[in-house]
């Protein structure tokens, strides 16, 4: 399974980066192949200062070794070794009318001291973080997520949408990071669903990422905007940074397993602002966004 999924994410990275370069129309991804001293490595691709994207990254990695003490405690296990691979992407468009998007799909195996697999699971999802609210964009994104889920189980969309709303919650701010999407973790083989069936579900969701995001980007990337709207984008990006550094499990896992810092922090936008107790004007477009940020909404029936 680990070979199948790693080969899949290698191909997916090629597909997504080619589509994003076409969407940007100017910049290309810079590739950085790296090795991890403890075992494994990855292929980082970053695009900066493009026509459409201020910064974007699409990374893959496959790492292995002894499970660190911090992760042993987190997973409630004794000495063990692990293998983890996945693709992670974050895109920050220049235009504040176009949303930031994040996605991640990963696979994890854990072994006993004799090298036997004792646990294995899939995780991942995708979520949208706009700076200005366009309801048709939110509906399109969530409908695409639901379509992929429904092909495997009609209960999946609501279950993983709720988990996404709960996960991407900035608890120290008591607000969502964005408008959500899907989040799933610890998708393990059971008598009801095999590991191969979970593989089919996760890859189906991943295969539909471009359909979920590119139509939104195409609608918003050339809209006019003001300096004040750009300022709002950078203020909201600050909340994005806060979540990633304080709460995000993927970031924390990378930091605790001696991950490659440049790849881990690839998700951070290049320009961010923090203002003391900044509040948008009442009934403004910025305040409209905050209404759904403070209380997650069901975008489709």
CATH number of domain containing 50: 3.40.1500.10
Q: Annotated catalytic sites, by residue? A: 102
Instruction: Look up the pTM and report it.
Output: 0.94
pLDDT above 70 covers a percentage of the chain that reads 96
Q: Which two tokens stand for residue 28?
A: 């290309």
The rounded distance, in Å, linking the Cα atoms of 232 and 271 is 12
The rounded distance, in Å, linking the Cα atoms of 56 and 17 is 10
Q: Is residue 300 part of a domain?
A: no
The residues, any chain, with a CB within 8 Å of residue 112's CB and separated by 6 or more, are: 80, 118
pLDDT recorded at residue 76 = 66
Q: Is residue 263 part of a domain?
A: yes
Q: Is residue 224 part of a domain?
A: yes
Q: Is residue 250 part of a domain?
A: yes
pLDDT digit string, tens, across residues 244-270: 999 988 788 778 766 788 888 888 999
Q: Is residue 299 part of a domain?
A: no
- Range of the structural domain that residue 7 is part of: 2-268+286-294
Task: Name the burial class of residue 73, with classes exposed (0-12), middle (13-18) and buried (19+) by CB atoms within 10 angstroms of its CB.
Answer: exposed
Q: Is residue 273 part of a domain?
A: no
Mean pLDDT of the chain: 94
SS3 250: helix
Q: How many residues does the chain have?
A: 301
Q: Is residue 274 part of a domain?
A: no
Q: Which two tokens stand for residue 210?
A: 């471009």
Q: Is residue 125 part of a domain?
A: yes
Rounded to 5 degrees, φ, ψ at 12 are -65, -40
Specify the number of domains making up the chain: 1
């Amino acid at each position: 399974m680990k070979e199948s999924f790693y080969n899949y994410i290698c191909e997916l990275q090629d597909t997504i980066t080619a589509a994003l370069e076409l969407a940007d129309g100017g910049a290309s991804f810079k590739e950085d192949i790296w090795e991890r001293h403890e075992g494994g490595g990855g292929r980082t691709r970053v695009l900066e200062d493009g026509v459409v994207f201020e910064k974007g990254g699409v990374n893959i990695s496959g790492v292995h070794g002894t499970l660190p003490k911090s992760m042993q405690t987190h997973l409630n296990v004794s000495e063990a070794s692990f293998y983890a691979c996945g693709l992670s992407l974050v895109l920050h468009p220049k235009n504040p009318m176009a949303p930031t998007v994040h996605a991640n799909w990963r696979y994890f195996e854990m072994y006993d001291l004799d090298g036997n697999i004792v646990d294995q699971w899939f995780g991942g999802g995708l979520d949208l973080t706009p700076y200005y609210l366009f309801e048709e964009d939110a509906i399109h994104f969530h409908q695409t997520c639901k379509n992929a889920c429904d092909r495997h189980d009609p209960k999946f969309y609501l279950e993983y949408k709720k988990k996404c709303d709960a996960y991407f919650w900035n608890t120290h701010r008591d607000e969502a990071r964005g408008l959500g999407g899907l989040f799933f973790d610890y998708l393990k083989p059971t008598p009801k669903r095999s590991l191969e069936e979970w593989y089919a579900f996760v890859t189906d969701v991943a295969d539909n990422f471009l359909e979920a995001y590119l139509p939104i980007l195409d609608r918003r990337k050339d809209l006019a905007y003001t300096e004040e709207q750009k300022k709002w984008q950078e203020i909201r990006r600050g909340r994005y940074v806060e979540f990633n550094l304080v709460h995000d499990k993927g970031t924390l896992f990378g930091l605790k397993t001696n991950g490659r810092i440049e790849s881990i922090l690839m998700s951070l936008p290049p320009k961010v602002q923090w203002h003391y107790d900044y509040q948008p004007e009442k009934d403004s477009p910025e305040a409209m966004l905050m209404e759904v940020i403070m209380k997650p909404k069901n975008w489709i029936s």
